[in-house]
Each structure stands twice: as structure tokens, then as C-alpha cells.
Amino acid sequence: MPTTETLLGAFGGREWRTAVDALFEAVGLVVTVMDCDAREVVFSTESCAYCQLAVPQQPGTGCLGPGTEISGTWRPTVCRGGLPCYVGEVPSGDHVGCLIVVGGFVSTTRERSDLFNSLVKAGVAEDVAHETLRDTPLLARRQVQALARMLVAEGTAALARATENSRWATRVRELELFVEAGTVFGEADDRRADVVETALERAMGIVGADCGTLLLLRPGTDILEAAASRGEVCREALGACVRLGEGVEGRVAQTGRGVLVASGEDELHCFSPKAGVRVRQAISVPISRDGRTMGVMSVGSTDEDRCFSAEELRLLDRFGTMAAVAIDNSRGRGASERAKFELMKLSAYAKSLGVTASVDDVANVTVSVLEKAFDFDLAGVVITGWSREQAVVVVGSEVPGNAIAAIVAEAAGLDDVPATVADIRLITYHAEPGPDIADIGDWSVLASEVLVHGAVVGHLFLASKAEGTFAADDKRLMDGLADHAGAALGRAALFARLRDDYARTIAALSATLDAGEFAPRGHADRVMDYAMAIGEEFGLEREDIEVLRFAGLLHDVGKMGLAEEILLKPSKLTDEEMEKVRTHVQVGADIVEQLEFLGAITPVILHHHERWDGTGYPFGLAGADIPLLARILAVADSFDVMTSERPYHRRLSYAEARRELEGGAGTQFDSDVVHALIDALDARVLAGATGLLVARSEEERLPS
């Protein structure tokens, strides 16, 4: 049977009201929806004028009197005032959900005349009676019956929609209850006693019980022991014992099926009457996980009017499964952390991986998650795909140094890690690796393959010095993490390939630009290298370093539109020619702005000829108003122009160029950027670099 709330939702909505109002306006019929049991009005149009005079009704009453007999749908009856009406039953599943009463009409002029006489005899003035009956519609019974059928069809659809909405609301509320319970379990102390108390308190809150007990099965026995109790009638229950199969709790634990216990049935063992207070009804459900019974939870009510439902039994039965997970996981810190992670943090982990753009970052995030979710002595990620042979390992306790390589080898199925995995990066959250030992012993190792498009690209692993540390739950969670890691690594690898393809394409374009300007070969490459070195010296994020990479390669793309006689002129440019040259930054910015993935470099190219003192172009920006990356590119570009042979000036030595940069610091250049380039150059020379930043001869090495 639908509830009153469901009926109000069905017949209080706009669709039903629109349909009935249209019918009322068209033919003047009175429509009432009634609860078929209580005969209470759920919905009604205005009462007919005749009934208002003949039998004034109280609010909330309908056309049908309390004793009106209904002998089947569509058989006509009469209303309180004596008018004919049709009654239709609106089905709801296997029951009658409500009644729709259609009345407020007469079917013959004789009926109208008889009703007129009745009003006059009752003391109503003739003119009032005449006017009232004149407004009462005259309709054939067959026509009214057809309209009533139409309304019942519309009402059936409305009630079905409202019932479905009610079911969804129940499911949403159920989900909210379980999310709230998960949050409460996550905030509970790792100790089992606290989790057990939390489980019982939450179970009582879900069904509105005022007493309850939670019994746990002693390991290796058939004895259930009360580990938590609440309420007056359960005050002495704590510590009480019941054997499997005995009493309600014992049978529930043995069969694994929950039951409703009504007053007068078998007493629950742990509910004891106190001074006339006794449990009127209770629910007892098993606490089980993966087919393994761990205990029984019973909640009750001492309120005589409280009656638990089958739906509440089902809800509490499901909660018992959730409580079993929390109680089982509370037996150790790692299991408890895993339960909280599974309930609350898995989506956050997936979100973190979703915005991770590099293979290294995926490995770092995953190792951090392993550290929070498990107990271990050693854990990590081994990546062997995409020609990357590396491992990121977190040390959870003092581990012999020579054990690390051996365990990584076992986890990844490799014969010789030091020779195969070139880079094992250690993260020592808890302890530094200890000294090597002759025999590292037998370790418990749990590993999960990381797959990308069906190919193994790495492994996640956990290792413990104690045997039998890891269980099936650990393996399930590890496999789930490996699935997320595989998807993230696949995206990161694809992004890296696309980025490299972009870089090669842009490098080819920049080489073409250098050739068109007859600039020294590799000018764009060197500007890129200098700019990235400055960015690294500043400690910029990876994304900003990538912007400098592409901006360095494309900083002169706007010169494609300049004539060769200007680009190659060996003498000083005229003012008119200089104005044309200055347009290349705007042209270059306009070009790269058309490509979405290059949008971030637009302001860098546009402003890399601004000066610190505000005398640069195109907008005369000064100081910190110039974007930092543009200031970096300006120094990198100027340094390479100084140290390269050009038609209009000789090549300066590195020492001379350094003095030029230092002389322009604070006027043309940002002093911090100049010092960052000099520091980067000095560091590479001291490190014996052999790349672009090495001095071309001993004489050109930068002085300290």
C-alpha cells in the first residue's frame, strides 16, 4: 500500500492538477482522490454548489460517507448529498492504492427537479436552489464514466511515478546512511572496541532503536560474546555469552539470516526486562564477511507503538555486512587504514592520477598511496615499459641495503635488478636502509601487474620480513590500485609522446626560421636551453619549464614576415626598418595563439623584448609587470645573440657577454634572471658539462 506521502506526491503534483483543472473547467465535474482505507481526502477540486447547501462538509472529508459501500469499480453510487458519482480504483502493485471519485453532476432533468424539491424542503430559498441546480452540469452517465476511466488511467500513471520516486528517495536515503556510516567508521579509532561501539550506535540510529547489543564470535570457538551494549534493558549484557544455534542470536549467527522478533516470541538472550520495561520488537542480523560469520547485531525498541518493517530488516542486514568490514579491518592499523581508504579515499586517488601528467609523477603518487594504505617493510613501483627501467621504493622499517634490489627483482619477475633497473630511487619515510647482511631471509612479497593495453609495463609491490603478512583483501586492493596506475601511466606516456612530437615539429620549424634569418645554426635550440636552465635555477614547475621550452624554439616565428634585406642588413637599421622589426613579437604571438596547445607561450613571445626600465616594446611594460617567463626568455635570447656571429656585430666571448648582461641588469634585464643564468652557466662548467652551455675554449670560460 502506498503511504500518505506517496499519495500526496502523486496527486499534489502539477501534471495531475493540470489534467483535473482542465476537466473541471470543461464540464464542471467534481474530482476527489481518497485513501481507500481511511477514506481521507488526498486531493479534491471545489465541492459542488448543491452539496455545499445540502450537506456542508468538514475539511478533509470527501464525497463518500464513512459507511458508503463500494461494490466494484465503475458501478455508480451516490455522494453524501445524493448526487450520482462514479468510483474508480487506482491500482498500486497487487493492492488498491486509492479511489478516484467523479461526481457533482445530474444525468436527467428529473433528477434535477427532485434535487430542487429536496433543497426547498430543507429550507433553501427557491431562487437560491434554482440558481444552484442551474450551475450543476447535466451529463450522461456514460460520458461521466468515460471521463472517470480517463482520470483513473492518468491517476495510475501518476501514482506509479510517485511510487518509483519514493523508491528512489528510499535508496538515496539508504546511500546517505551508508556514506554517513562510512565517515563515522573512518573517524573511529583503530581499536576494535571503538569500531564495535560505533557500529552498534549507528545501527540503532538507522532504525530508531533505543537499545541494542553486538556479539562477536570468539576466534576458534562457537561462542558469541557481547562486545557492546546500549540501553536500559541491555545494561548487564556486556560480556554475556551465547553458543551458535542457541536462542535468537545463536540461530541468526548459525543460519546467516536476519529476523524480526516481535513481543511474545523468543526473547533475545541479551535483552533483560527491567522494572516492567521490556523490548516490544527487535531486529537481529548477522555480521558476516565473505561468507564468514563474525557475530550478531540486535537492536530493539521498548516503545509499544514501534513496529519495525521488513525494509528496516533489509537495511540493517546490509549495514551488518558493512559493519563486518569495519570490525574485521580494525584488528590492525594497516587493515583499518585500508578500510578507510577503500571507503573514502579511492576516488581521491583516481582524481589525483587523472591530473598527473608524467610517468614519474604517477609513480610518486602511487608510492604515497601505498604508504598510507598498507603496513609493510618495503613497498614501491617498478616501471619497465617504454624503455624506462626504474623503481621508486619506500622503506617502512630498517631494511638491509642488499635486500632492496633482491625484493624489487622478485616483485617484478626479474633476474638481476641492478643490471636491469638502472634507477632505484629510495624514499625513506620511516627508516634508512640498514647494512648489508649475508642472508636476507624469506620475505612475504605481494605484487600486482600494471597493464597498459594488455602489456605489462610495471609492478606494484609490498614486502614484509614476516611470513604470511598479506591477505586476500590486500591483493584485491593492490589489484585495484594497479588498474588505476595502469590507466594513469598510459595517459602519461601518450602525453609524453605527443609532447615530444610537438617539440620535434617545432624544432624543425625553428631551424627553418634560423635558416631564413641566416642566424647561426641552432640559435633557437640554444635560447631554449638557456631559458630552461634559468627556469630550473628559479625552481619553476614542470609546466613552466615546458612553456620556456616551446617559447625558446618559437620566439622569432614572427620574423617570417620580414624582408631579407632587413634581416640581413649589415649596417644600422633606419627608424622605419626598426619599426617593422618590432612588429615580429606581435606577429609571432598572433601565430602561436591560433594553436590551443601553444596558448601559454603567447605572452612570453609577445613581451620578450620589453625592458626592465620600461623602454622596451611592444607595450613599454616595466619591472614585475613583465611576465617572468618573458623576462627569462629576454635574457636567454640576448645572451645567445651576444655570443653568436651576426651580420651586424661580431661574436662576444662568454666573459664579455657576462659583463654585458651584468651591465644591463636593472635597466634592460631583471637582475635576478641575469644572476640565475650566470649561476646556471657556472654550475654546468664546474660540473664539466659537454652540452650547449660549455665554453667554446678555455679562454672563454666564465670567470668566477
- For residues 87-103, give the mean pLDDT: 86
Residue 533 has pLDDT above 90, yes or no: yes
pLDDT greater at residue 296 or residue 512: 296
Listed ranges 438-442, 461-465, 579-583, 694-698; the one with the highest mean pLDDT: 461-465
Taking the C-alpha atoms of residue 649 and residue 638, their distance in angstroms, rounded to an integer, is: 13
> By mean pLDDT, which of 136-145, 241-250, 318-327 is the weakest?
318-327
pLDDT of amino acid 663: 92
Nearest to 560 by CA among 597, 611, 605: 605
Q: Are 603 and 589 in contact (CB under 8 A)?
A: yes
Judge if pTM exceeds 0.85.
no
For residue 180, give the C-alpha cell. Answer: 554517513
**Start-to-end CA span in the chain (Å):** 91
295 against 185, higher pLDDT: 295
pLDDT in tens, 410-423: 777 776 555 445 46
Q: Report the amino acid identity of residue 589.
A: A
Is the pLDDT at 563 greater than 50? The verdict is yes
Biggest alpha carbon distance in the chain?
131
Do the Cβ atoms of 422 and 390 come closer than 8 Å?
yes
274: number of Cβ within 10 Å: 14
pLDDT for res 78? 76
* pLDDT attached to residue 347: 63
pLDDT band at 237 (very low <50, low <70, confident <90, very high): confident
Q: Is a pLDDT exceeding 80 seen at residue 338?
A: no
Residue type, 602: T
Q: State the Cα–Cα distance between residues 656 and 637, nearest whole angstrom.
A: 16
Residue showing cell 594504505: 373
* Separation between Cα atoms, residue 448 and residue 411, nearest integer Å: 8
At CB < 8 A and 24+ separation, what contacts does 611-618 make? Answer: 611/667, 611/668, 611/669, 612/666, 612/667, 612/668, 612/669, 612/670, 612/671, 613/666, 613/667, 613/668, 616/668, 617/582, 617/585, 618/582, 618/585, 618/586
pLDDT in the model for residue 635: 94
CA 243, CA 217: separation in Å to the nearest integer?
9
pLDDT digit string (tens) for 20-68? 888 778 888 888 888 876 567 888 887 777 777 777 665 545 566 554 5
Q: How distant, in Å, are the alpha carbons of 88, 100, 103, 518, 546 from that of 76?
A: 10, 12, 10, 103, 83
- Spatial neighbors of 5 by CB under 8 A, at least 6 apart, are 166
With contact defined as beta carbons under 8 Å apart, do 85 and 107 qualify?
A: no
What pLDDT is stored for residue 588 in this prediction? 81
Q: How far is CA 494 from CA 16, 217, 490, in A?
A: 55, 52, 6
Write the pLDDT tens digit of every residue in 667-702. 999 999 999 999 998 887 776 544 444 444 433 444
- Decide: helix, strand or coil at residue 227: strand
Task: Please list, in sequence order, all residues whose beta carbon lies within 8 angstroms of the beta carbon of residue 185, skipping any fewer than 6 positions away.
Answer: 195, 198, 199, 322, 326, 339, 340, 343
Reply yes or no on whether the pLDDT at 351 is more than 70: no
Q: Is 548 exposed, middle or buried (0-12, 13-18, 19+ CB in 10 A)?
A: buried
What are the residues facing 33 on neighbouring strands? 43, 100
Overall average pLDDT of the 598-608 stretch: 88
pLDDT confidence bin for 549, thresholds 50/70/90 = confident
- Report the C-alpha dihedral over residues 131, 133, 139, 145, rounded to 10 degrees: 130
Residue 116: which pLDDT band, with cuts at 50, 70 and 90?
A: confident
pLDDT 10s digits, 353-383 = 666 667 778 888 888 888 877 778 888 888 8
Name the DSSP letter for residue 343.
Answer: I
What percentage of residues in the chain have a pLDDT greater than 90? 11
Among 47-51, 210-214, 639-643, the minimum mean pLDDT is found in 47-51
Give the residue ranges of DSSP H helices in 555-627: 564-567, 575-582, 584-593, 602-606
Amino acid letter for position 620: G
Alpha-carbon distance of 159 to 4, in angstroms, equals 11
Q: Which residues lie below 8 Å from residue 497, measured CB to CB, with a gap of 6+?
A: none
pLDDT in tens, 257-281: 999 887 644 566 667 665 556 778 8
What's the count of helices (H) and strands (E) in the chain, helices before strands? 24, 16
DSSP output for 261-312: EETTSPPPTT---BTTB--SEEEEEEEEETTEEEEEEEEEE--TT----HHH
- Segment 174-202, tens digit of pLDDT: 666 666 666 655 555 545 567 888 888 88
